[in-house]
Amino acid sequence: MKKNISLQDAVALIKDGSSIMIGGFLGTGAPSQIVDALVESGVKDLTIICNDTVFDGKGWSKLIENHQVKEIYASYIGGSKASIQQMNDGQLKMNLVPQGTLAERIRAKGAGLGGFLTPTGLGTVVAKGKKVIKVKGKEYLLEEPLGADFAILGGSIVDESGNIFYRGTTKNFNPMMAQAAKTVIVEAEKLVKVGEIEPESVHTPALFVDYIYVKQ
């Protein structure tokens, strides 16, 4: 099965109301051209799951600035004034999640788990509406898995079957998101033949990748 897809066709898959995981950390490791094309498409009412909302005028912050996002799950929003303004104005539902908890919720979805227990957030607003479970006399929050309709990822090297290698810190959040979404689209910095990525250097196996867009 050929997985190559054009930028136009990749963006056309994402409809109004979709939930999208965007890999990377403060823009590093993100699929920049796919994000920019989403901004141009005008698709709206999106739910975005990401580590952060980047900085004003950068990355997926542009989706927020363009009022295309209705809800966000993130750990850090301080670099994007639009995120803060829209949250305070009640235009944007903001779910602030401790970074480790966010990563583990995504991982739990990919692993098929029903959730996990953590002491992080006990006694804070993070615990609001969540179940508290005692284990050997110690309290934990039950955190539920977090998945999405789509994961859009940035891959440093991708082979033609969809195996992905992420260079350095571009790996952040990408591998676990690839396992927690119904449809996975990778934006490849470089496309190579199958076998050119050493097996031990494959961070996301082709099994999890539905489409490959080669960055122009």
- Delimit the domains of the chain by residue range: 7-112+145-214
CB 103 within 8 A of CB 78: no
The pLDDT score that the predictor gives to residue 1 is 60
Cα–Cα nearest to 118, from 136, 132, 137: 132
pLDDT band for 191, please (50, 70, 90 cuts): very high
Percent of the chain with pLDDT over 70: 100
Write down the CATH number for the domain with range 7-112+145-214.
3.40.1080.10
pTM above 0.75, yes or no: yes
Residues 193-210: tens digit of each pLDDT: 999 999 999 999 999 999
Query: Distance between terminal CA atoms of the chain?
Result: 22
Residues 99-152: tens digit of each pLDDT: 999 999 999 999 999 999 999 999 999 999 999 999 999 999 999 999 999 999
Mean pLDDT of 27-44: 94
In this structure, the dihedral spanned by the alpha carbons of residues 63, 67, 68 and 72, taken in order and rounded to 10 degrees, is: 80
Cα dihedral sign, 87-92-93-94: negative
The pLDDT score that the predictor gives to residue 117 is 97
